[in-house]
Chains A and B, each alone.
Chain A
Amino acid sequence: MNKKPELLATAASLKEAAALLDAGADALLIGDDRFGMRLAGHFTLEDTKAVIEMAHARGCKVVAGLGGLMPNSLLDELPAYVKAIGELGVDAVEFGDPAVLAAVKQEAPGLKLHWNAEMTSTNYATSNYWGRKGASRVVLARELNMDEITEMVPLLEIEAQVQVHGMTNIYHSKRKLVASYMAHQGRPTDGGSMGKERGLFLVEAERPGEIFPIYEDDNGTHIMSSDDICIMEDLHIMMEAGVQSFKIEGLLKPTVYNAAVVRAYRTAIDAYAADPEGYAFQDEWLDEVRKLQDPERELSFGFFYKEQVY
């Protein structure tokens, strides 16, 4: 029988971290805005220390997100950060840029490495390539479908993580697109924020009603999906296939919502682990999530059952 899969959730703050652990998360993804990409929140080293202590006290893990696209200017700061989080006892590091591989090997060789290239982690051969470079896990692209995921797992020499809930990034530019547009309009910004907290979104001319969150940070401009993945109904397919970790993306969501999502997936994973043969998805597991769901955002199967062409 497959080992019980891990349930990982992103945490925006210490407070949220505590709530998500209470709700049943096995692991938390946190990080420093300098090195992470689209993190739910920023953790100082002090907060990182606290969250690691909090998680480890419950037998849970902490993964640091270092998935940024790194310019030369960040390379000087990277080793010290890696060394510091290694000493604090973080369990793993997410990376995309090979510069992070070098820093981990040099500063904290015991740290586990999770390869997360977002939309470009699309096949088993590339995942295994990064496995040979030291990665122990791949975070699969959100644009893969269920067949691709399940057929990939037996071919992987490393663990697989699949995002099962929440929004996904669909466009990332280094340009400051919102600020540029406002400058073009002549709209005064008064140094105002274009960040996550502002609640900015785009609506495409032909798609009224689909709301695409957009925000700026030090990494540029991010546009997010208009729907939230929710694949709990078919979670058992991936548990049966042996996916080792399920991720809940809590970006741009309040804690009360993320905690409800974690509780729901916790229930499903535990029920499956207790009795895989007798397992059946119960619709009411999602009641709480549905009640808290942003009425302007659809819960969807994402790309799990989409056929894409090219």
Chain B
Amino acid sequence: MSTMTKPQHKGKRYRLDKPELLAPAGNLEKLKFAVHYGADAVYIGGQKYGLRSNADNFSFEEMREGVEFAKKYGAKVFVATNIYAHNEDVAGIEEYLRNLYEAGIAAIIVADPAIVDTARRLVPGLEVHLSTQQSTLNWQAVSFWKEEGLPRVVLGRETSLEEIAEIKKHVDIEIESFIHGAMCSSYSGRCVLSNHFTDRDSNRGGCCQSCRWKYDLFEDARPDGTWVSEEEQAEAMQSPERLLPGVTQLPLHEPQDNPFTMGSKDLCMLESIPDLIEVGIDSFKIEGRMKSIHYVATVVNAYRKAIDAYMADPEGYVLKPEWLEELNKAANRPLNTGFFYDTPDHEDHIYEPEEKAAPYDFAGLVLEYDAETGTALIQQRNHFKPGQQVEFFGPDDTFFKQTVGEIWDEQGNSLDAARHPLQKVRMKVDAPVAYFDMMRKRK
């Protein structure tokens, strides 16, 4: 099976020659890193109708700037417009969508059919992609959305590779799948734990991740698992006071057990790039609009290299161990392959206490490189000092470790440490670096 198939239907090409790498961008700066490190497209949140109400979402002005920046790389910008609207949200949709279109946004990612419909009728130039929040699992549903004018569907995370292949077989449409990052363990959109526990509406961006809280599991030990038995039913109306058997909870956990939780391991499909490409997934989506610059750049970089290597030579492709090592420098949870091969089981949940932090920090950004002196001008992003082990990496060939030697400020004064955020310092580098390369250090 080749992914290089040419258009099968007149005038419309729904299979991309090369899968798109789609990255999250929580703000303008993250957008620039995502694009520079190899994303073909990024998705962002606007100030309304998005599911990350806590992210520092984009103004229309910032969107325009992001679109301009992305355009230089041939990359596109999508906006997650993925809430389930309530009545009060309906009135402003049209104006908001027009503004997105005018800002140069290529597509919106939509869950609510009211927004799909408004966009298709009133802003036809704006592409509409169906969000994973719709939990689309079958080809007839995909076909329905195609007939509604959507060129792309983001499938539910519950679809397997086999099911995706069948969908591709029946419907000529772009399929986007999450391939990396945190996952709802529920069907996305089918969880209102936040609403119940904290009065925060999960489907309008208020999710407080109650799935990762700790629970105890019990069994109701009352007869028949119910508080009114058949015999009691007969007598119920005569003497209702008999119906209060009291609390009878049988714990299904021992003191030494980890508590019950719904929290899932994170998705990582780096080792399965050939399978994803061969099944015909058109867009590989990385989760994480709330994640750091270091995370986005590292993850995009690894997938970019794997996809390019495979496309250049599918037969000769081998996964390089350093790509996986790179991912692990940004990961903050154990990883798995979601539903692509099989339904997740007990190995795929996190019952143990979680390590919250990724092992590496973004220490500095390369602003300039002077080949003559072998020095780089670096913008400080986290505290670093002479003697520390650091790594340089970038979207092209930069990839080496070194010890930080002497560092100087812009006036040439020697410093004992780079202490101040965004402070510019100069240092010797062991190999050539380029603008936008990153320097990381172990925490």
- Contact A306 to B140, CB < 8 A, known contacts A126-B113, A198-B219: no
Q: Is B262 an interface residue (CB 8 A)?
A: yes
Contact of A171 with B225 in the complex, beta carbons under 8 Å: no
Interchain CB contact (< 8 A) of B219 among A101, A148, A199: A199
Contact of A200 with B185 in the complex, beta carbons under 8 Å: no
Q: Is B122 an interface residue (CB 8 A)?
A: no
Which residue of chain B is the closest to A74 with respect to CB atoms?
Answer: B138
Q: Is A14 an interface residue (CB 8 A)?
A: no
Q: Which residues of B contact A204 (CB under 8 A)?
A: 197, 210, 213-215
Q: Is A123 an interface residue (CB 8 A)?
A: yes
Beta-carbon contacts under 8 Å, B75-102 to A? 84-87, 89-90
Which residue of chain B is the closest to A226 with respect to CB atoms?
Answer: B196
Least distance between A217 CB and chain B CB atoms (Å)? 14
Contact of A148 with B140 in the complex, beta carbons under 8 Å: no
Contact of B216 with A97 in the complex, beta carbons under 8 Å: no
Q: Is A50 an interface residue (CB 8 A)?
A: no
Contact of A119 with B343 in the complex, beta carbons under 8 Å: no
Contact of B217 with A70 in the complex, beta carbons under 8 Å: no
Contact of B117 with A303 in the complex, beta carbons under 8 Å: no
Q: Which residues of B contact A152 (CB under 8 A)?
A: 87
Least distance between A288 CB and chain B CB atoms (Å)? 8
Which residue of chain B is the closest to A171 with respect to CB atoms?
Answer: B191
Q: Which residues of B contact A237 (CB under 8 A)?
A: none
Q: Which residues of B contact A126 (CB under 8 A)?
A: 84-85, 112-114
Contact of B186 with A173 in the complex, beta carbons under 8 Å: yes
Q: Is B254 an interface residue (CB 8 A)?
A: yes
Interface residues on B, range: 35 or more
Among the stretches A40-48, A56-64, A175-183, the one at the interface with B is A175-183
Contact of A101 with B144 in the complex, beta carbons under 8 Å: yes
Bound state CA distance, A310 and B237, in angstroms?
45
Interchain CB contact (< 8 A) of B141 among A99, A120, A288, A294: A99
Q: Is B233 an interface residue (CB 8 A)?
A: yes
Contact of B90 with A124 in the complex, beta carbons under 8 Å: yes
Q: Which residues of B contact A295 (CB under 8 A)?
A: 227, 244, 246-247
Least distance between B377 CB and chain A CB atoms (Å)? 43
Q: Is A172 an interface residue (CB 8 A)?
A: yes
Among the stretches B8-16, B24-32, B302-310, B345-353, the one at the interface with A is B345-353
Contact of A184 with B346 in the complex, beta carbons under 8 Å: yes
Least distance between A253 CB and chain B CB atoms (Å)? 8
Beta-carbon contacts under 8 Å, A169-224 to B? 169-185, 187, 197-207, 211-212, 214, 220, 223
- Contact A203 to B218, CB < 8 A, known contacts A97-B141, A152-B87, A184-B349: yes
Contact of A174 with B339 in the complex, beta carbons under 8 Å: yes
Q: Is B156 an interface residue (CB 8 A)?
A: yes
Which residue of chain B is the closest to A290 with respect to CB atoms?
Answer: B240
What residues make up the interface of B, taking CB atoms closer than 8 Å to A?
Answer: 53, 84-87, 89-90, 111-114, 116-118, 133, 135, 137-141, 143-145, 156, 158-159, 163, 166-167, 185-187, 189-193, 195-197, 199-206, 210-211, 213-222, 224-228, 233, 236-237, 240, 243-244, 246-247, 252-254, 257-260, 262, 264, 339, 343-346, 348-349, 351
What residues make up the interface of A, taking CB atoms closer than 8 Å to B?
Answer: 69-72, 74-75, 97-99, 101-102, 118-120, 122-126, 129-130, 143-144, 148, 151-152, 155, 169-185, 187, 197-207, 211-212, 214, 220, 223, 225-226, 254-257, 288, 291-292, 294-296, 303, 306-310
Apart from the given pairs A123-B112, A170-B191, 17 other A-B contacts in the complex at a CB distance below 8 Å: A71-B163, A72-B167, A75-B140, A98-B141, A119-B84, A120-B203, A126-B114, A130-B113, A171-B186, A173-B190, A174-B158, A199-B220, A201-B218, A212-B215, A214-B217, A291-B243, A310-B206
A-B contact pairs, 16 of them (CB 8 A): A102-B140, A119-B189, A125-B90, A170-B191, A172-B186, A185-B253, A201-B219, A202-B215, A202-B218, A203-B218, A223-B193, A292-B228, A303-B195, A306-B199, A307-B199, A310-B206
